[in-house]
Amino acid sequence: MDHSQFEEYIDKYSNLVFHVALANTSSFHDAQDIAQEVYIKLYKSKPFESEEHLKNWLVRVTINQCNSLHRRFFKKKHVDVDINEFIISKESIQVHDELMALSKEERTIVYLYYIEGYTYKEISDMTGRSISSVSRDIKNSLKYLKSQMEESS
């Protein structure tokens, strides 16, 4: 991969990689580290068939890196910096807390669907989960978040 193409990919997809990592780790610093690892793998990778293939690859590698971090975490048992230090408003804290109550898989799927705008099929392809599982998790997550927000109002 040439340097200019690599820079173009970083410019275009850095937010996607970072936010998928953040949804999986809940740590700003870990998400940055994972993004760097993904970029190294991207630089060493072979050419992609299409933009869609590249995006799917980036999400899959990011999730894999997060899983590797989780495995290392349980071995080392270190303490992560909480993302709460970066959130300011009361509403943001409440939304963040409710999102953190979801499983990392649910947070990732919610992020990919609502923030990145991917379809159920695209998320299914990226995560290796069935379309019905993705659909169910999105609906259940939204239902849970709505009920929690209504309770605290």
Residue in 115, 112, 17, 28 with CA at minimum distance from that of residue 9: 17
Domain topology for 1-83: Rna Polymerase Sigma Factor; Chain: A (1.10.1740)
Q: How far is CA 141 from the centre of its chain?
A: 15
Are 126 and 112 spatial neighbours (Cβ–Cβ below 8 Å)? yes
pLDDT tens, 35-53?
A: 999 999 999 999 899 999 9
Domain ranges of the chain: 1-83, 87-153
CA 4 – CA 83 distance, rounded (Å):
33
The beta strand positions in 64-147, using DSSP E, are none
pLDDT tens, 128-145?
A: 899 999 999 999 988 988
Domain 1-83 and domain 87-153 have a common topology: no
Percent of the chain past pLDDT 90, that is, above it, reads: 42
Retrieve residue 85's tokens.
């230090």
pLDDT at 79: 45
Architecture of domain 87-153: Orthogonal Bundle (1.10)
pLDDT tens, 84-115?
A: 544 445 566 666 677 778 888 888 888 888 88
CA 142 – CA 138 distance, rounded (Å):
6
